[in-house]
Structure 1
């Protein structure tokens, strides 16, 4: 390797590390600015991890506070609090590999004395609330946890730059991608607001896996080898594809849907003769081994369409590999397609029917038709699961991301067209570029249907935008000299900066401070006035934080992907229906609930942006409006306002009411100062 090549590689490494560190600093400071995390008490920090984030953090806390690592793992795998009275393996149910890893790393670092001493200070909270002790440093559990998330965010910045540089064959392409990423940051990621979510851990690994698959396709697609098991087992250096695939499956249940799309794209490329059969088999083999390693951890994976497609495609490709070149190409293609689909369907029918996927199909059904039920409305009423908003299109157009990505795609297609005349089909097609084009198209469709999934679309648009500066693409439009390429780069960067810099400034100039006095009062009262085995029910997001702050058993939680949890939540959410109080009381007693937590927002539909999305509206849809036509009033406002029979009010403040399912004392707290809600 000559000196110039070594210098180029060194420059790439330094730039990728630099951009990774820049992204780490960016998201960590945005997080601090959003909630003033450094000046919160540990309880406030835990409360700031809303919805399922609080539940994930609970298991990390369990791992580090247990007397021993093994005892923490045993408690996690014999969890009797999050789905009371059921005892579950929380690791398998909730994809807790990140928390087990973080907890193990914390205990190991603590045992070696590597965490150092925390920096602590007293934070005043006004005349109404007592001061709290705020501590900062790696020895503080919450700081150690989010530091791992920021390190993975660093990986995102580094991989994105390398991905775009590789695909474009130019550092200019990597620079354009990273500029577009920062200028469209809120459209690319939400790690800065929600660090404990599964995507914060899995997406950097998914991005790296797709990067390595791209490299693999480009390297091996035109080496027409005869398939043997030796090729797969010994001649394949891309073992990191298997490792990252497995880690993604361990970390995030949604990873399997991304991999299903990846397998489908690989099969399409194979059927179009853009990649040879043995390349598909190599990658299918990686997925099969990753699935095998997740057998213990992921029942959803084992019974998924992803597994069926992988195994079915592998079987058909192995069978047809022996007759390739002997059969008519069209007959072979027909056999591949029909055989793969048939094998996948046969496997699916032979497996145990796993209902946890039905909500996904129903959600898609509701997007494409007029179908509605309680569970799909719970999703579609949330902004994250709505169709992608117009503001997203406006942003990616103003920052020149979308126009540049479209131009990059046009350059690639035109280059293939020019190549077709010289080299013919399929040699004119670049496999890695074709794979990423189809992958980006799939991500666009996903984001259009579910806004939350734009975290896949927008970063990939950044990568595709970088292809504009590929030397071979620019050469076909007459830009061959280096100074012309540099001029084009500066011009495009300036156009992107015109609105992009303003967006970064707006993002960084926002300052908030987390405070939720009423919820803190609620948890303090629960800790002081209820037994440790008291069972609670209520709004899903509150239950997750209640589990974390009080360690009381709960009957429902925010893990809505589970069929059982959807059924449990539906029963608990009868409090928001028009049913009789006695009927709801009996339902909760059968669930062994001791206390019911009501919140003002859900009871009265406060803060609901979309019409027809109050909880009582969802129930009216479920029963076709029969109870409403009979003139029955919504139950929750009646219980919340004071007429709680047959329940007993035992606690109330300005936002929460706690009802006991038998007699207890009654306490009412009214803060003297205005209540600060979360920014």
Structure 2
């Protein structure tokens, strides 16, 4: 005991204390504790300040992107100086169709009246009455109509003007027009909110890149890459009303939430709620959302199969997207395309595989489990889709399978050729890889992929070495809650592979691929993965050099976009619209090329029999009948088809008769695939109609582009 006391005394002495001073030791510890508290408070304060700084940066970046796309849109069309009619004419094809429903809701006596009109519409596919909110994913227009009516109502009550108007002289013998600017102008209110939403999207990309890499530099790389490759990443600046403009920002937020879920050690089912909300917001505006969600689900499932996440985390994810699907299905009034989608079939299949995990784990041999899970996924997804489609006799999405079939075989029909002859539905153009190569995006992502793959394989090998001598440790692992580091990175690798395949097959879908490439560049700033480059200062110096190299071509790309100057004018179409409003009854029914039909509906309110939204089996057949005008069939048969659709007038567009994007893609050649009976006829029907439409039709209007034919009874 004495020795122990001597040892304690010696220990106290070595710390500058003596047993005699023991009574005074208490006050001396107070400053030390206070110092620790101060240090902790300072650390928390720094964390809070850092987060505030990140949010401020995100807001600034979002505001910059909003201005960027809004200014490009203005320079391309000189939108601020167009009349109301010209602005509507500028929304061609599907854009005009979607905008027409927004116009209906804001011009109706009450919002409820407008909502009823679009839910009981007999103008779009005359004489049928359809629920366009169900068919065309019009929730963005509903939300904007509510916002516009509220904005106008509040400002009217406050007696504040919401727009400023002036007279614009167009010159060249054209009549002057009134042009209005401000949020009180319906088209301004519409496009402005599209640009704001896509500004918020860029803010999310900055935060996403920062979160994924663990460094603000990662967010900067993501945003810089997006701006430098802007023409390959989005087309919102040219086509604001398209569904992707409303939907894509929400899939960015949804993937952000999924990344957070995969990084969370032990998530609860409360994590499912925000994923469900983001899924709903993504699905409601866009009928093609199901394909992106399918790839995401498969990517997360692959992460689960490889053991990076357990069944509990997988169930939280499935509950989120499954709940989002169910609510979207209800809000879209039981949209048939959702029910027969591969996404729904895959959701059912993967849920079943996860639920029978204990049975599969009895196989014990991991490759055998993988083979079983893969086989079940393929067979189950295709099987469920086939059964559901046959059970409910749904063929609305049959053309999607035909399109993919035509991509990899010599199969083709009228409908697949209409798609594949359009550049946006063709394979990725050869110039795209070269463009992202020049901005250093492709090399940067290649470095990321190689390094991340090596990093993950090394981690797996190290883990295998640590457990190879103790196999029983693996068997005793808590399988439902199993977790490996970097699960979110594995998910993004699979997601990138899926988006790459989508972009290669259908060029339009590079809007998913290029932004994800930009996001992957953020991993270059990850100290965990690229710490081997040296200390933090050296690492970030290398990234600064990379950013400078990217900016060489990137700034040139931006300058090219900024140099685009134009002024919208389409006098032939304006003449057609003005003639239609002045010379035809309000109940006159029109048929013609899909893009023009959208304009006729939007600008004149006349009933139409076909339109650009091609995702319905019945509509595809109606359009096929209308397009006999561009076949080699006899004029008597064309008249018979138009009368069957109850069309009073047919619009013949000269470009559809003569254009040919490539060999085999003129309208007459497309018809030759199926119309064997008339294949030998040398003169297409449209040429005959232009020269001598009688006795079945009568020309009632004609300019250098359009010809209106009255169907003689």
State TM-score, norm by structure 2.
Answer: 0.87
Match of 1:134 in 2: 179
Match of 2:338 in 1: 301
1-10 or 546-555: bigger deviation: 1-10
- Aligned-pair CA distance for 1:339: 4.5
Conservation of the 8 A alpha-carbon contact between 2:629 and 2:685: yes
Match of 2:550 in 1: 496
Secondary structure of residue in 2 paired with 1:598:
strand
- Aligned-pair CA distance for 1:419: 2.4
* Aligned positions, number: 645
Match of 1:616 in 2: 668
Match of 2:147 in 1: 105
- Aligned-pair CA distance for 1:545: 0.6
Tell me how far apart the structure 1 counterparts of residues 419 and 168 of structure 2 sit (CA, whole Å): 39
- CA pair 613-416 structure 1, distance change in 2 beyond 3 A: same
Match of 1:466 in 2: 522
Match of 1:172 in 2: 217
Secondary structure of residue in 2 paired with 1:555:
coil
Tell me how far apart the structure 2 counterparts of residues 153 and 513 of structure 1 sit (CA, whole Å): 24
- Aligned-pair CA distance for 1:633: 1.6
In the alignment, structure 1 residue 564 sits paired with structure 2 residue 627: no
Match of 1:93 in 2: 135
Conservation of the 8 A alpha-carbon contact between 1:265 and 1:435: yes
- Aligned-pair CA distance for 1:446: 0.8
Give 1:439's match in structure 2, choosing from 472, 495, 499: 495
Match of 2:634 in 1: 580
Conservation of the 8 A alpha-carbon contact between 1:95 and 1:250: yes
- CA pair 345-449 structure 1, distance change in 2 beyond 3 A: closer
Q: Map of 1:106-505 to 2, 5 A cutoff?
A: 106-113=148-155, 116-220=161-265, 223=266, 231-232=268-269, 236-296=270-330, 297=332, 298-321=335-358, 323=359, 328=364, 330=366, 333=370, 336-351=373-388, 352-424=392-464, 430-476=486-532, 479-505=533-559
Tell me how far apart the structure 1 counterparts of residues 128 and 670 of structure 2 sit (CA, whole Å): 28
Conservation of the 8 A alpha-carbon contact between 1:57 and 1:99: yes
Give structure 2 stretches of 5+ with no counterpart: 1-42, 468-481
Secondary structure of residue in 1 paired with 2:701:
strand
423-432 or 502-511: bigger deviation: 423-432
- Aligned-pair CA distance for 1:155: 1.6
Tell me how far apart the structure 1 counterparts of residues 493 and 661 of structure 2 sit (CA, whole Å): 36
Give 1:59's match in structure 2, choosing from 81, 101, 105: 101
Conservation of the 8 A alpha-carbon contact between 2:93 and 2:598: yes
Q: After superposition, what is the alpha-carbon deviation per residue over 1:591-644, rounded to whole angstroms, capped at 9, x for unaligned?
A: 100000011101222xx33122111111112235x5232x44211011123444
Secondary structure of residue in 2 paired with 1:237:
helix
467-476 or 81-90: bigger deviation: 467-476
22-31 or 596-605: bigger deviation: 596-605
Structure 1 or 2, whichever has the larger Rg, is 2
- Aligned-pair CA distance for 1:237: 3.5
Q: After superposition, what is the alpha-carbon deviation per residue over 1:304-363, rounded to whole angstroms, capped at 9, x for unaligned?
A: 221122123223322435x57666354655654455555444533442242121111111
Match of 2:38 in 1: none
- Aligned-pair CA distance for 1:126: 1.1
Tell me how far apart the structure 2 counterparts of residues 622 and 74 of structure 1 sit (CA, whole Å): 40
- Aligned-pair CA distance for 1:428: 6.1
243-252 or 349-358: bigger deviation: 349-358
Secondary structure of residue in 2 paired with 1:30:
helix
Match of 2:120 in 1: 78
In the alignment, structure 1 residue 531 sits paired with structure 2 residue 576: no
Aligned-pair RMSD on alpha carbons?
A: 1.9
Conservation of the 8 A alpha-carbon contact between 2:155 and 2:162: no
Tell me how far apart the structure 2 counterparts of residues 141 and 492 of structure 1 sit (CA, whole Å): 44
Conservation of the 8 A alpha-carbon contact between 1:407 and 1:465: no
Conservation of the 8 A alpha-carbon contact between 2:634 and 2:685: yes
Tell me how far apart the structure 1 counterparts of residues 256 and 45 of structure 2 sit (CA, whole Å): 26
Tell me how far apart the structure 2 counterparts of residues 56 and 353 of structure 1 sit (CA, whole Å): 28
Tell me how far apart the structure 1 counterparts of residues 398 and 346 of structure 2 sit (CA, whole Å): 18
Q: After superposition, what is the alpha-carbon deviation per residue over 1:389-441, rounded to whole angstroms, capped at 9, x for unaligned?
A: 12111110000000001111122112223323443499665111111111111
Q: After superposition, what is the alpha-carbon deviation per residue over 1:200-247, rounded to whole angstroms, capped at 9, x for unaligned?
A: 000000111011101111113xx4x8xxxxx53xxx235221101011
Tell me how far apart the structure 1 counterparts of residues 434 and 374 of structure 2 sit (CA, whole Å): 39
Give 1:43's match in structure 2, choosing from 85, 92, 95: 85
- Aligned-pair CA distance for 1:480: 2.8
403-412 or 352-361: bigger deviation: 352-361
Tell me how far apart the structure 2 counterparts of residues 306 and 200 of structure 1 sit (CA, whole Å): 21
Match of 1:672 in 2: none
50-59 or 342-351: bigger deviation: 342-351
Conservation of the 8 A alpha-carbon contact between 1:308 and 1:344: yes
Conservation of the 8 A alpha-carbon contact between 1:419 and 1:428: no
- CA pair 333-184 structure 1, distance change in 2 beyond 3 A: closer
Conservation of the 8 A alpha-carbon contact between 1:406 and 1:465: no
Conservation of the 8 A alpha-carbon contact between 2:210 and 2:522: yes
Tell me how far apart the structure 2 counterparts of residues 428 and 643 of structure 1 sit (CA, whole Å): 72
Tell me how far apart the structure 2 counterparts of residues 628 and 304 of structure 1 sit (CA, whole Å): 36
State TM-score, norm by structure 1.
Answer: 0.92
Secondary structure of residue in 2 paired with 1:651:
strand
Tell me how far apart the structure 1 counterparts of residues 254 and 144 of structure 2 sit (CA, whole Å): 22
Give 2:688's match in structure 1, choosing from 620, 638, 641: 638
197-206 or 417-426: bigger deviation: 417-426
Q: After superposition, what is the alpha-carbon deviation per residue over 1:450-482, rounded to whole angstroms, capped at 9, x for unaligned?
A: 111111100000011121121122222xx2323
Conservation of the 8 A alpha-carbon contact between 2:98 and 2:138: yes
Secondary structure of residue in 2 paired with 1:602:
helix
Give structure 1 stretches of 5+ with no counterpart: 226-230, 664-679
409-418 or 186-195: bigger deviation: 409-418
- CA pair 342-361 structure 1, distance change in 2 beyond 3 A: closer
Match of 1:668 in 2: none
Conservation of the 8 A alpha-carbon contact between 1:356 and 1:561: yes
In the alignment, structure 1 residue 551 sits paired with structure 2 residue 605: yes
Match of 1:673 in 2: none
Secondary structure of residue in 1 paired with 2:271:
coil
343-352 or 274-283: bigger deviation: 343-352
Secondary structure of residue in 2 paired with 1:355:
coil
Q: After superposition, what is the alpha-carbon deviation per residue over 1:277-317, rounded to whole angstroms, capped at 9, x for unaligned?
A: 11111111112211221233032112322112212322332
Secondary structure of residue in 2 paired with 1:396:
helix
Tell me how far apart the structure 2 counterparts of residues 353 and 313 of structure 1 sit (CA, whole Å): 24
